[in-house]
A and B are shown apart, each in its own frame.
Chain A
Amino acid sequence: MSRVLIIGYGNPLRGDDSAGWRAAEALVRRPWDPGVEIITRHQLTPELADAVSGSAVVFFVDAGLGDIPGTVTCSRVVPQTPPNAFSHQLSPGAVLGLARELYGKLPEAFTFSICGERFEMGEALSQKVAENLPELVERVAAMAGAAEGARPENDSAQVNDWVVPDR
């Protein structure tokens, strides 16, 4: 199992929704310690709870909605028990909650989201998302690198230091 798990997710055929996927593809080209695993997914499904539960730190990288396209935000993921719902698509909090519920493990987890502008059919990113994708990649890389290099498992005190303030 990986110590650091990076999940880039979204639909690579729906414009800016591919940003998380593209960020993961950029990250996987970098040299990483074997303890770092980077995967891409169309959406978050219950199966991810297994991999998440075996990791010390998890980063969910996605595109989102918001006011200013291209803005990168980071936030801590709080485990959730979803309402009476199931679909093929879970939230990061639901995946985390599932990891806790089924495997008794609760890794530190963060979302990195870039605000998208267009989600229509097509592989092209909007200009603002394309311009800011490198920032998304660098911020994830910085946090993942810190987690990979220094973090003892279950030491939440240090994790707080790694959260890069949103710009």
Chain B
Amino acid sequence: MREKRTIVIDPVTRIEGHAKITLHLDEQGEVSDAQFHVTQFRGFEKLCEGRPFTEMPSLMARICGICPVSHLIASAKACDAILAVRIPPTADQLRRIINMAQIVQSHALSVFHLSSPDLLLGMDADPAKSNLWGVYERDPQLARDGIRLRQFGQQIVERLGGKRIHPAWVVPGGVSEPLSQQDRDAILASIPEALAIAVRTLAWFKTISETFREEIGSFGNFPSLFMGMVKDDGRITFYDGKIRIGDATGNLLADGLHATRYYEYLGEKVESSSYLKSAYYKPKGYPEGMYRVGPLARLNVADRCGTERADQELAEFKELQRAAVLSSFHYHQARLIEILYCVERLEQLLNDPEILSKHVRAEAKPNALEGIGASEAPRGTLFHHYKIDEQGLVRWANLIIATGQNNLAMNRSVLQVAKHYVHNDRLTAGMLNRVEAVIRAYDPCLSCSTHALGQMALNIQLLSADGQVLDEVAR
């Protein structure tokens, strides 16, 4: 009998984020457990304490360089609640537009820049080629499409928010400036190209996904709950709506939940091995209340999108598995469907004449000492919760981000991939890449760490029980 061993992947990270993976092997050399640890600590909630609540949107946008708009919106909605105002209808629509633009660019980053090397070149591709440049060589049109789609989303954010990253245009009470006709027309003019890219990329993905049957079967393919926002009629929404929670059989466990009462049905557990909290659905307890958020979850719980092409794709998507779509590999396809939906929906919103209304902000002073804002970010449902004092200074803040809500599922997915692909004490590049790829499917926002495929500062050690290094792979 062999001794128990541990494989440590440390760091699975890059500049802004730090994470590691531990794989535990039993005496037979089979994987018995896996943990995904986030080892960075940010403490944004603490940084907010003592600051005026009106600063929160622009301060919170600094949390992330990829999805600042999501934090901006959830934060502004929390501040709207503190002001107790109903923002002008046009401001509501403009916030939806900038949120969807950001979802398009963020999803495009995930699909085209980060995961396309795996998808186009294969999981076992030469690591020296398994990167964006390998994609450029193999399929330059795909690369150009990725660039154009990212630009499409970024330019909308820039036109509305004044800059691509960390715009401060979304403010408590609405937005700071109305949309000009010139900008509206320019965005509308760019929609046909974005739509064409979304359509052909989805067609391409559905073709190549046939070659990933083993990965579909082993990449987070297990029962879990799924959570997302929907409108009252069951359509998908990214800006506001009620929370819906479904299970693996496709049944709804909860519907019509108010996002502002999240603390009644969502819990967070702190594990000593990670700075990333693990969220769970309270009625099921921990860890049985594991749920997934983001594109896969949103499409699982939504009845329809409400736009023509996206609805066709959604119907096809829901046929991928017998009940709910369980495999996290399908996050990629869900992402592409959401891009398609966003482009179609953007066109609808921008063609509404009221979108050019100059009345875009409601002014008020604080009328409540507590506010909760929630929206759908690219990676899943996002909650901002603030308490202020009589002077308007933040005294307490709590953020529940998508990556934390996917934490339990990511851990389980790493375990499933490792159990499927690791069967001895020798490490292979294909195994490592799949461990990264399953994390990448969730597109976690703990630093773009899992985004830097091909050049991650990846160092994996295989240790014996007494700490002896049995094998090591680094790149």
What is A's interface to B at a CB cutoff of 8 Å?
A: 41-42, 46-47, 49-50, 81-88, 98, 101-103
- With known contacts A85-B454, A85-B455, A86-B452, A101–B136 Cβ distance under 8 A: yes
Partner-contacting stretch, out of B143-151, B189-197, B261-269, B344-352: B143-151
CB contacts (< 8 Å) of A88 on chain B: these are 65, 448, 451
Inter-chain contacts of A102 with B (CB < 8 A)? 136, 140, 143-144, 147
Contact between A50 and B113 (Cβ–Cβ < 8 Å)?
A: no
CB-CB contacts below 8 Å: B369-400 with A: none
Partner of B147, one of A41, A50, A84: A50
- In the complex, are the beta carbons of A46 and B454 less than 8 A apart? no
Which residues of chain B in 133-189 are interfacial with respect to chain A, using CB atoms and an 8 Å cutoff? 133, 136-137, 140, 143-144, 146-148, 150-151, 154, 164-165
CB contacts under 8 Å to A, within B210-224, are none
Contact A50 B148 (CB under 8 A): yes
Chain B: interface size category: 20 to 34
Evaluate contact between B133 and A47: CB separation under 8 angstroms. no
- B5-39 CB contact bits vs A (8 Å, 1 = yes)? 00000000011000000000000000000000000
Complex Cα gap A82–B135 (Å): 13
User: Could you tell me the dominant secondary structure of chain A's interface residues?
Assistant: loop
In whole angstroms, what is the CA distance A83 to B147 when docked? Answer: 20
Q: How far is the CB of B22 from chain A (nearest CB, A)?
A: 25
Q: Are A86 and B132 in contact (CB under 8 A)?
A: yes
Nearest CB of chain B from residue A52's CB, rounded to whole Å? 11
A42-B65, A84-B129 are contacts. A50–B454 as well, Cβ < 8 Å? no
| Residues of chain A within 8 A of B1, CB atoms compared | none
Contact (Cβ within 8 A) B150 A47? yes
Q: A46-B147, A50-B151 are in contact. Are A98 and B136 (CB under 8 A)?
A: yes
Interface pairs A-B: 4 shortest CB-CB? A85-B455, A86-B132, A84-B128, A86-B131
B250 CB within 8 Å of chain A: no
Bound CA span A151–B146, Å: 32
Interface contact A84-B154, CB-CB below 8 Å: no
Separation in Å of the A85 CB from the closest CB of chain B? Answer: 4
Nearest chain B residue, comparing its CB with the CB of A46 = B147
The residues of A that contact B150 with a CB separation of less than 8 Å are: 46-47
Q: Check A84 against B136 for contact (C-beta < 8 Å).
A: no
Compute how far the CA of A66 lies from the CA of B398 in the bound complex, rounded to whole angstroms. Answer: 43
Would you call B448 and A86 a contact (CB within 8 A)?
A: no
Which of A49, A87, A101 is B452 in contact with, Cβ under 8 Å? Answer: A87
A86 touches B147 (CB 8 A): no
B165: chain A residues at CB < 8 Å are 42
Are B133 and A86 interface neighbours, CB within 8 A?
A: yes
Min CB distance A43 to B, Å, is 9
Summed over the interface, the residue pairs from A and B with CB atoms below 8 Å come to a total of: 57
Which A residues touch B164, using CB under 8 A? Answer: 41
Using CB atoms and an 8 Å cutoff, list the residues of chain B in contact with chain A.
14-15, 65, 113, 127-133, 136-137, 140, 143-144, 146-148, 150-151, 154, 164-165, 448, 451-455
Alpha-carbon distance A46/B129, docked complex (angstroms): 17
User: How far, in whole Å, are A82 and B136 apart by their CA atoms in the complex?
Assistant: 12
Of B136, B140, B165, B452, chain A has the most CB atoms within 10 Å of the CB of: B136
Q: Give me 20 A-to-B residue pairs in the complex whose CB atoms sit less than 8 angstroms apart, sorted by A's number.
A: A41-B164, A46-B132, A46-B150, A47-B150, A47-B151, A47-B154, A81-B133, A84-B129, A84-B454, A85-B131, A85-B454, A86-B452, A86-B453, A86-B454, A86-B455, A87-B455, A88-B451, A101-B137, A102-B140, A102-B144
Q: A residues within 8 A CB of B452?
A: 86-87
Q: Considering the chains assembled together, what is the distance between the CA atoms of A84 and B140 in angstroms?
A: 17
Within the complex, the shortest CB–CB distance from A88 to chain B, in Å, comes to: 7
Which residues from A are CB-within-8-Å of B451?
A: 88
- Our pick among B14, B65, B131, B148 for the contact of A84 (Cβ within 8 Å) is B131
Please, how many angstroms separate the alpha-carbon atoms of A82 and B452 in the complex?
14
Q: How far is the CB of A8 from chain B (nearest CB, A)?
A: 13
Chain B residues contacting A41 (CB-CB under 8 Å) are 164
Residues of chain A with a CB closer than 8 A to B130's CB: 84
Q: Taking the nearest CB of chain A, how far is it from the CB of B455, in angstroms?
A: 4
Contact A49 B147 (CB under 8 A): yes
CB of B10 to closest CB in A, whole Å: 19
Cα distance, A161 to B143, chains bound together (Å):
35
Min Cβ gap B188→A in Å is 20
Chain B CB within 10 Å — which of A82, A84, A98 has the most? A84
Q: In the bound complex, how far is the Cα of B158 from the Cα of A41, in angstroms? A: 12
Residue among B127, B133, B148, B455 with max Cβ neighbours from chain A (10 Å) = B133
Our pick among A46, A49, A82 for the contact of B113 (Cβ within 8 Å) is A46
* Separation of A81 and B143 alpha carbons in the complex (Å): 15
For B14, what are the chain A residues with a Cβ–Cβ distance below 8 Å? 87
Residues of B near A50 (CB, < 8 A) are: 144, 147-148, 151
Chain B residues near A42: list those with CB within 8 A: 65, 165
Whether B147 lies near A47 (C-beta < 8 A) is yes
Which residues of A have CB within 8 Å of B154? 47
A62 to chain B, nearest CB (A): 17
Q: CA A81 – CA B134 in complex, angstroms?
A: 11
Smallest beta-carbon distance B168→chain A, Å = 14
Beyond the given A42-B65, A42-B165, A84-B127, could you list 13 further A-B residue pairs with CB under 8 A, ordered by the A residue number? A46-B132, A50-B147, A50-B148, A82-B133, A83-B455, A84-B454, A85-B131, A86-B133, A86-B454, A88-B65, A101-B137, A102-B143, A102-B147
Contacts of B15 in A (CB 8 A): 87
The chain B residue sitting closest to A51, CB to CB, is B151
CB contacts (< 8 Å) of A103 on chain B: these are 144
Shortest CB distance A18–B (Å): 14
